[in-house]
Amino acid sequence: MALQSSVLLRVLNHRLCCVTPANFLAARWVRFTAVNTMKSTVFVLLPLACVAGAAFSQTIETSREGRSDLPSVVVKSSRLVDSKQAVPPSATLITRDEIENSGYTSLAEVIQKLGFVNTRSGLVGSRDASFDLRGFGGSSPDTNVAVIVDGIRYSEKELATARISSIPLSAVEQIEIMRGGASVAYGDGASGGVIRITTVQPQADQPLSGTGSVSVGSYDSLETTLGLRGGAGSVGFTLDVTESATEGYRERSAEDFGSALAGLSWMGSQVLAGVKFGTESSDVQFPGSLSLAQFKANPRQAKPTPSNVGDFSFFKRDLTSVYLRSRNMPFDYGVDVSRRDQSRTFKDGNPRGQRDLVQDQVSMFVSDRMEGLGGVHQLTLGAAFEDARLDSVGLFSFGTFVAKGQQKSKAFHISDDLAVSDTLRVNMGYRLESIDQFRFDTDDSGFNVPADRETRRNIDLEAYELGFSRVLTGSLTGFAKFNKGFRVPNIDENDPTSRPSPATFLNPQLSKELEMGVRRRVGETEQVLRLFKIMLDDEIANVNFTNINLDKTQRLGVEMEHSAALTDRVDLRAAYTYTDSEFRTGELRGTRVPLVPAHRALLGLGYEISDRFDSEILFTAQSDQRLGGDLDAPNEEGKVPGYALADLSFKYRFEQMKLIFSVNNLFDRQYYSQGFYNAFAIFSGVEPVGVYPDPGRNFKLTAQFDF
């Protein structure tokens, strides 16, 4: 990443387009050599043969029902985790009850505070957040975490945050947060993990019910939401509407937002089918970055540069999806088809422009159980097709850049969840994905790229995983997992205005990860310990406005989580993460990867004042980080200082109403979680470090009505 202006500069030129399933010809896969095919086959079959051989050497009596007592090792893309007991040890499940009892009022807040996910405010508006799992902060965490909503990928094929702010909490059924690589199930962009959001599905023959809320807060903030649910006969519907406005913490940071989501379903004896429609728009002012001196003088001021006055972003998106699921059948199957059509008009200092993105997705799976060959197998076969096109125009004082780009991917994946016995469970999976990339660039200024350059390529990538979980005692479960994954540089990262060679593409990022740990559960008390190591080749990052492949890097870390009831009225949540994120080759060997804190901690105490009155105080802290973009030399040019925050909330329940009052940043700490170094700035005589202040102490009062 670079400064906010560089974010939009890198996002200026491109286009992504789509392919139909009919174009996915088997001949595409013939490109793989016999050696690659043999390697893949051996990898998938050899562990299965070993496990089956070991299993047949003992007497195994495993029932279909008994296997659910032992959790899987990985989150499946095709199946809904329906209980805390079934969630994999490497994942966190946030249920509907936990969301309602938390008193939190936004999806990003729930993911951050209940899921303990490193979360930063987006650089384009305050509603959407950037999620970082396992320390990818300095190399675009948004492109290393796959955000999935009801089977549809919300992660963009550009350098942009996945926009989930259009989903009100009243519409969320559950959230699964999987840490670690998940490329087998989700493909490109899941090197750090997956955040899978499941919304409340329309139910047939259901009386009309709903939820409404009104929130007022600091900075003249006002938000209203309305959610309706109902059904008659075999048809059900949902409708969620959100409107919000705020003047923002900083000068010139006002934001207006509106969204509407509607769903219609039909439930047959063996089939569930439905369609969903969504639309959203936001109008945001850009306050820009501040120098360190400006931040210390007044963190609420906007960037004083005259050219940045009037900076804005206007965003519009329409979403349509259709789904099909099996019901009451001996096997499961499903199909998801979606189209996302969005546009953004912006001004950010010198550049003005517009970006139009259309992204189509088709995914399908079939899953069935089979007994024999060593136990009870849950076999899942899936295919995914994702096609997008992006058109952008950037107007600069020195000329105009026009870019059109396409990215098409098609993949097949297979996984086996094998219950060897009542105490041993093994997971394995394999994915084969083909990606076509195309770019057409026009530059009438002669500033950087030749006019009318066309560039194409095709790459074929593989992912695989192997893991197990085993019951060690009545309350203790051990687990381990190895996976190999990938991330493809998107169209922004291949932008000829921000990479070394306009005639080439960046290399795909490859990862290998080993994870192991234990989980202890006794009643409502749970502790989890995870150890992980991620080895990365060709990690993709931005250095001084240039997207490059880094030297080899690694993440080595420890994750600990604890939750328990201390008394009948007091609950405790605690979590700690240590992440050693550094280079392992090249000039920067042994130095830190930018924007990754080594230490993060959370401590939450919930106190039930009465049967209707709850309170919580939440402490979060993290250590310092290397500045974003600081990769020119081993010596660090500066740091994002560490900080500690306290949040306080109260919730009072009436019969059909809740009042929630929250104070964030209770002690009014002045801090920033994002700071960037720009080596080119020193040539123009300006401060090379730019920071984006986070909000000071702020209040919010929410009244929620159920009917």
In whole angstroms, give the CA distance from residue 6 to residue 289: 11
- Give the residue with greater pLDDT, 604 vs 140: 604
Q: What structural domains does the chain harbor? A: 4-31+62-299+306-449+478-706 (2.40.170.20)
Compute the average pLDDT of residues 78-105: 79
Identify the CA nearest to 429 among candidates 415, 412, 413: 415
Residue 81, pLDDT score: 63
**Please, what is the Cα angle at 286 between 620 and 114, to 5 degrees?**
25
Phi and psi dihedrals of 101, rounded to 5? -80, -15
> Residue 317 corresponds to which tokens in the numbers above?
């998106």
- End-to-end CA distance of the chain, in Å? 46
Q: Which residue has the tokens 């740091």?
A: 639
Using a 10 angstrom Cβ sphere, with 0-12 exposed, 13-18 middle and 19 or more buried, the burial of residue 512 is middle
Predicted confidence (pLDDT) at residue 301 exceeds the cutoff of 70? yes
pLDDT attached to residue 681: 74
β-strand pairing of 193-199 with 145-149: parallel
Task: Sort strands 689-693 and 698-706 into parallel, antiparallel or unpaired.
Answer: unpaired
Tell me 450's DSSP state. Answer: -
State the DSSP string of 371-397: EETTEEEEEEEEEEEEEEEEEEEEEET
Give the whole-angstrom CA distance, residue 449 versus residue 382.
41
Looking at residues 443-467, what average pLDDT do you find? 77
Nearest to 116 by CA among 695, 628, 701, 560: 560
Residue 459: partners with Cβ closer than 8 Å, 6 or more residues away: 434, 435, 437, 488, 508
The mean pLDDT of the chain is: 84
Nearest Cα residue to 640 out of 326, 321, 295: 295
Going 426 to 92 to 187 to 118, the CA torsion angle's sign is negative
Strand 152-153: give its sheet, edge to edge.
Answer: 91-94, 172-179, 193-199, 145-149, 152-153
Tell me what percent of the residues of the chain surpass a pLDDT of 70: 84
Q: What is the pLDDT of residues 163-191, one digit of tens each?
A: 888 888 889 999 999 999 999 999 988 98
Burial 414-439 (b: 16+ CB within 10 A, else e): ebbbbbbbeebbbbbbbbbbbbbbbb
Q: Is the pLDDT of residue 438 over 70?
A: yes
**Exposure b/e, 615-633, CB count within 10 A at least 16 = b:** bbebebbbbbbbbbbbbee
Residue 670 or 69, more confident: 670
Which phi-psi region, left, alpha or beta, contains residue 224 (left: φ > 0; alpha: ψ -120 to 50)?
beta
Q: Give the C-alpha separation, 669 to 483, whole Å.
A: 40
Give the whole-angstrom CA distance, residue 581 versus residue 579: 6
Of the candidates 219, 141, 323, 298, the one whose C-alpha atom is nearest the C-alpha of residue 693 is: 298
Query: Distance of CA 160 to CAs 125, 145, 493, Å?
Result: 11, 12, 11
Q: What is the mean pLDDT of residues 620-634?
A: 93
What pLDDT is stored for residue 45 in this prediction?
35
- Strands (E) across 397-493 are located at 399-419, 424-443, 453-471, 476-487
Instruction: State the SS3 of 188-214.
Output: CCCCCEEEEEEECCCCCCCCCEEEEEE
Distance CA 586, CA 633 (A): 11
- Which pairing describes strands 91-94 and 172-179: parallel, antiparallel, or unpaired? antiparallel
Residues 6+ apart with CB under 8 A from 297: none
- The Cβ of residue 383 has, within 10 Å, a number of other Cβ atoms equal to 16
Whether the pLDDT of residue 31 is over 90: the answer is no
Structure token digits, residue 496: 């000829």
pLDDT on residue 212: 95
8-state DSSP, 41: H
**What pLDDT is recorded for position 530?**
97
Of 111-125, 258-272, 367-381, which range is least confident? Answer: 111-125
* Between residues 118 and 79, the one the model is more confident about: 118
Query: How far is residue 438's CA from residue 504's CA, in Å, rounded to a whole number?
Result: 11
According to the model, what pLDDT value does residue 572 have? Answer: 96
Instruction: Name the pLDDT band for 517 (thresholds 50, 70, 90).
Output: very high
* Closest alpha carbon to 389 in 351, 339, 345: 339
Q: What is the mean pLDDT of the segment spanning 463-475?
A: 94
Distance of CA 411 to the CA centre of its chain: 20
Residue 699: helix, strand or coil by DSSP? Answer: strand
Give the integer Cα–Cα distance in Å for 406 and 404: 7
Four-residue CA torsion sign, 586, 592, 595, 601: positive
Bridge partners (DSSP) of residue 676 are 628, 690
pLDDT in tens, 235-253: 999 999 999 999 999 999 9
pLDDT for position 19:
34
How far apart are the C-alpha atoms of 469 and 417, rounded to whole Å? 11
**Max Cα separation, the chain?**
78
The mean pLDDT of 341-364, rounded to a whole number, is 90
Q: How far apart are CA 707 and CA 695, in angstroms?
A: 34
DSSP helix/strand/coil, 36: helix
Answer with the residue of higher pLDDT: 397 or 649: 649
Query: pLDDT at position 501, please?
Result: 64
Report, as an integer, the average pLDDT of 314-331. Answer: 93
- Mean pLDDT over 386-398 rounds to 83
Environment class of 690 (CB within 10 Å of its CB; exposed 0-12, middle 13-18, buried 19+): buried
- What is the reported pLDDT for 165? 81
Q: State the DSSP code for 309.
A: T
The residue-averaged pLDDT of 632-644 equals 93
Beta strands in 233-311 (DSSP E): 235-246, 255-267, 271-285
How many helices (DSSP H) and strands (DSSP E) are in the chain? Answer: 6, 35
320: helix, coil or strand? strand
**Structure token pair of residue 512:** 């290998």
pLDDT at residue number 206? 87
Most confident among 291-300, 301-310, 394-403 (mean pLDDT): 291-300
Which token pair is 126?
A: 């305050």
Taking alpha carbons only, the member of 590, 600, 577 closest to residue 528 is: 577
pLDDT band per the 50, 70, 90 thresholds, residue 500? low
Residue 109: its H or E element: helix 107-113
pLDDT recorded at residue 340: 93
Confidence tier at 458 by pLDDT (50, 70, 90): very high
32-68 pLDDT, tens digit per residue, is 333 343 333 333 333 333 333 333 333 333 333 334 4
What is the structure's pLDDT at 125? 66
Inform me whether the pLDDT recorded for 23 exceeds 50.
no
Taking the CB of residue 25, how many other CB atoms lie within 10 A of it? 9
The position carrying tokens 């992980």 is 532
* CA distance linking residue 198 with residue 176, whole number of Å: 8
d(C-alpha 153, C-alpha 143), whole Å = 12
State the Cα–Cα distance between residues 580 and 559, nearest whole angstrom.
Answer: 12
Instruction: Note the pLDDT of residue 79.
Output: 56
Q: 549-587: per-residue pLDDT in tens?
A: 899 999 999 999 999 999 999 999 999 999 999 999 999
To which residue do tokens 């040890």 refer?
89
Q: Residue 180, SS3?
A: coil
CA distance linking residue 117 with residue 147, whole number of Å: 13
CA-only gyration radius of the chain, Å: 25
